[in-house]
Structure 1
Amino acid sequence: MESYWIPFVWLAFVGLLGGTAFKIVQMGRLASREKTVFPTLDAKHGARSVLHWLLPFGTRNMRLRPFFTVVSFAFHACLLITPLFVMGHAVLWQQSWGISWWSLPAPVADFMSLVVVAGGLFFILRRIAAPQVRNVTTWSDYAIVLLVIAPFVTGFVAHQGWLPSKHAIALHIASGIAWLLAIPFTRLAHMFWFVFSRAYMGSEFGAVRNARDW
């Protein structure tokens, strides 16, 4: 990675961590204004709800839509695992911080990148084709999906050598920075809020309504 990218990469991580911390504090303050949020939270029912929604086919809704469930879990698993364990990123961590860990074989990383891209395109087509989703879709929903898959497209292109290396890597880094900066301030933040929202819903259904939310 060229040295002039380093400040931008730092900016991306600072924006990600700082933005996430700001949003957590903001959401905590909003929740405290609602007199029912914190008193409703129940560790047992909240944890049970989170666990069921993290397990493939752990909820009735997932079992009713098996194809969507498989695509969704494959997409999210590859989305999280690939950037952490792709060889190029592991090398950068070792060079920058002296931290080394296991990395994915290149063919596996390529395949997982394609899974993310294919999953993203599936979600876009679903928003176009399914009326119940299309009716609540705005242009930003398409933009977010494209933003998510952009680092995987550019990373795959860079690894395959389909563009000059310097240009492909620049596109990959730029799209990755944009992705990280967008996480706290867009719907991508659901990767953090998921635990809180599911814990609250599980608590409300289990402790208050004596019912399951899965």
Structure 2
Amino acid sequence: MYQFVTGPLAWLAFGIFFGGMIYRVVFIVKLAQEKDKLVFNHLDLKWSLNSIFRWLVPFGSRSMREKPVITIVAFIFYICLLITPIFLVAHNVILQRRWGVSFWTISESTADILTIILIACVVFFILRCIALPDVRLITTAYDYLLLAIVAAPFITGFLAYHQFSGYLFWVIVHVLSGEIMLIAIPFTKLSHILLFFLPRAHIGSEMGQKRPLTRIQN
């Protein structure tokens, strides 16, 4: 089972992930052209990069400054979400063995800390959805499911690394949950983690050509 989930199933998951992301980019571009046939005529590199940069920097936009707590937690969450799986030693060992590639790695203790922080962020998001009436109003079971999909690989990976009862079971579930997340990313709200720059580039160009630079804050 382990060989299957780390071999053929992993190839399938990565194939769907990359294929799905390409599909989403093409879909978004075509949709933009359908809604506004001149959308690419008024794209401006300066204003696009300015808008993207502001959303990559904590408190770079007005909406972030208006909600400092959620901004801080969200940035911490995304940093942990991206750094931990990419630079984890165990993952890079598998990458090296399977595909002959590897990245710079973080220590296992650092990965442990980042994992715990990410799980804490997920708990924060859940409590926020429950506690705040305006957030609870727009939160559905779908949103909780996405949080579960994100948290599952980290929780199971933590349990496997610390060799909780049923080590091999947790390893297999960890790999499966990671593959489920990879497959889910292109087709759910999780895609915004990688595709946010497309709408930001459009909004930046739209607002930049109509308003002064200091107004591009939302």
Asked if these proteins are the same fold (TM beyond 0.5), I'd say yes
Equivalent-residue separation in structure 2 for 1:162 and 1:30 (angstroms): 48
Q: Deviations over 1:27-78 (max 9, x none)?
A: 1111111224223321111100110110112122222322222211111001
Q: Is 1:4 aligned to 2:8, yes or no?
A: no
Equivalent-residue separation in structure 2 for 1:163 and 1:184 (angstroms): 34
What amino acid is the match of 1:3? Q
Q: 9-18 vs 92-101, which deviates more?
A: 92-101
What amino acid is the match of 1:62? M
SS for the counterpart of 2:104 is coil
Aligned residue among 82, 86, 89 for 2:88: 86
SS for the counterpart of 1:213 is coil
Aligned length: 214
Equivalent-residue separation in structure 2 for 1:24 and 1:61 (angstroms): 26
Given that residues 86 and 103 in structure 2 are in contact (C-alpha distance below 8 angstroms), is that contact kept between their aligned partners in structure 1? Answer: no
Aligned residue among 118, 126, 129 for 1:127: 129
Structure 1 segment 195-210 matched on structure 2, within 5 A: 195-210=197-212
Q: Deviations over 1:68-100 (max 9, x none)?
A: 222111110010000011111011112123334
Equivalent-residue separation in structure 2 for 1:141 and 1:22 (angstroms): 23
Equivalent-residue separation in structure 1 for 2:145 and 2:100 (angstroms): 36
Given that residues 75 and 116 in structure 1 are in contact (C-alpha distance below 8 angstroms), is that contact kept between their aligned partners in structure 2? Answer: yes
SS for the counterpart of 2:37 is coil
Given that residues 201 and 213 in structure 1 are in contact (C-alpha distance below 8 angstroms), is that contact kept between their aligned partners in structure 2? Answer: no
Deviation at 1:121, TM superposition (A): 1.3
Q: Is 1:106 aligned to 2:104, yes or no?
A: no
Show the counterpart of 1:38: 40
Identical aligned residues as a percent: 42
Show the counterpart of 1:67: 69
Aligned alpha-carbon RMSD (Å): 1.5
Show the counterpart of 1:149: 151
Deviation at 1:109, TM superposition (A): 0.2
Equivalent-residue separation in structure 2 for 1:108 and 1:193 (angstroms): 28
TM-score, structure 1 normalization:
0.94
Aligned residue among 159, 162, 170 for 1:160: 162
Show the counterpart of 1:172: 174
Show the counterpart of 1:13: 14
Given that residues 48 and 200 in structure 2 are in contact (C-alpha distance below 8 angstroms), is that contact kept between their aligned partners in structure 1? Answer: yes
Equivalent-residue separation in structure 2 for 1:66 and 1:192 (angstroms): 22
TM-score, structure 2 normalization:
0.92
SS for the counterpart of 2:41 is helix
Given that residues 150 and 175 in structure 1 are in contact (C-alpha distance below 8 angstroms), is that contact kept between their aligned partners in structure 2? Answer: yes
